[in-house]
Structure 1
Amino acid sequence: MAGFLDNFRWPECECIDWGEKRNTIASVVAGVLFFSGWWIMIDAAVCYPDQKQLNHAFHTCGVFSTVAFFMINAVSNAQVRGDGYSDGCMGRTGARIWLFIGFMLMFGSLIASMWILFGAYVTQGLNVYPGLAVFFQNALIFFSTLIYKFGRTEELWS
């Protein structure tokens, strides 16, 4: 069963040239997702200002996701491969360690937001919107990170 989609090719649309617009589209989509994540969390914080409804400590997941977003996107793919940057503190190894720490922060924040959703809201029988807001904030920041990191080409930056 492994590899049954190896020969499948998604039909390409020849009417749109994505080559020159790929970076712009990826940046705009990532920015909209990032903004939407924070907008949902700000909305939940305004609608539920009481500490019992939305614990203020739950905002740390979004802060760590945002820090991880900047950490992950501060390292280019060329630096990780060793093509674009070999000098400096640790070179390619340092770039890989920095990227690994960024992804660990991102996954940790996403898992913590799921824990908050189920542990603090679903199992307690409370209104789940604040928990969903924490989860969707981190999920949208996670997807915006992936789109911004892997959706752009780097030929324009080299």
Structure 2
Amino acid sequence: MSLPRSNYDPRRVCLNPFPVLNIGKHRRTIGIYLAGGLFALANWTFLDAAILSAHAHPPYDEPQLPAPVHVGFTDWVPGICSLLGMLIINLIDKDRVRGEEGFGDSGAVWRARLILFIGFALMAGGLAGSVTVLVLKYVLEEYAEQYTYYGYANVSQNVALMLSTIVLWISQSVGSEYEYNLSI
């Protein structure tokens, strides 16, 4: 067994600390804009697939046949679940989840954590549902690459929504650039 390093803190979880990113006093604003960009990218990719599906052409070698697959309601459900999860997660007061600010009611902290769990469960269910739709509807049927794009767009939408939620949660937990430190 080796001796611990001199700067070792037994309360740390990771052996190597995460790198410190110093992006200045506007880190909260940058995080919120980044989350908004990820949200827009997520919905843009899925709407692109839905519009492309609505205007899909039949295979070129058989022009009489209709397109084999379209984006349907089952493709929309995972994105709706992830969007609801994102809304639930970001509507919860962060201080209530931590139990700070002297809320006094321990039941309020428990309820906030339960609702936060429901939000994360909706997001995880949305991602799992999009992967399931991709595999069952597009991959197992062995459609052409132009049709499997619909399933990949669905999965990328849910991943980007999850990343957007994480970035927004972290950036809202950071102190505001308008806070002043008044000390004598």
When normalised by structure 2's length, the TM-score is 0.72
Quick one: which amino acid aligns to residue 31 of structure 1? G
Cα–Cα, structure 1 residues 8 and 103, in superposed 2: closer, same or farther, change >3 Å?
closer
Partner deviation per Cα, 1:5-52 (whole Å, 9 max, x = no partner): 62456375xxxx534211111101111011001001111111102793
Segments of structure 1 that go 5 or more residues without pairing to the other structure are none
Q: Considering only CA atoms, is the larger Rg found in Structure 1 or Structure 2? A: 2
The unaligned stretches of length 5 or more in structure 2 are 1-11, 57-67, 180-184
- 1:119 maps onto 2:136 in alignment: yes
Q: In structure 2, what is the equivalent of residue 107 of structure 1?
A: 124
**What is the number of equivalent residue pairs in this alignment?**
151
Which residue, out of 78, 90, 94, partners 1:77?
Answer: 94
Q: What is the match of residue 114 of structure 2?
A: 97
Task: Give the superposition deviation at 1:150.
Answer: 1.9
Q: What corresponds to 1:22 in structure 2?
A: 27
Question: Corresponding residue for 2:71?
Answer: 54
The 4+ residue runs of structure 1 with deviation greater than 6 A are none
Paired residues of 1:29 and 1:147 also in contact (CA < 8 A): yes
Across the aligned residues of Structure 1 and Structure 2, the Cα RMSD in angstroms comes to 2.7
Structure 1 residues 120 and 154 mapped into 2: Cα distance closer, same or farther (>3 Å)?
same
Distance 1:82 1:11, change over 3 A: closer
State percent identity of aligned pairs. 28
The answer (yes or no) to whether the contact 1:71–1:99 under 8 Å persists in 2 is yes
Equivalent in the alignment of 1:6: 15
In the other structure, the counterpart of 2:167 is 147
Give, in whole Å, the separation in 1 of the partners of 2:32 and 2:164.
Answer: 9
After TM superposition, the structure 1 stretch with the greater mean CA deviation from structure 2, 52-61 or 129-138, is 52-61
Provide the rounded CA distance (Å) in 1 between the counterparts of 2:41 and 2:83: 13
Q: Distance in 2 between matches of 1:26 and 1:125?
A: 40
The one-letter amino acid of 2:161's match is I
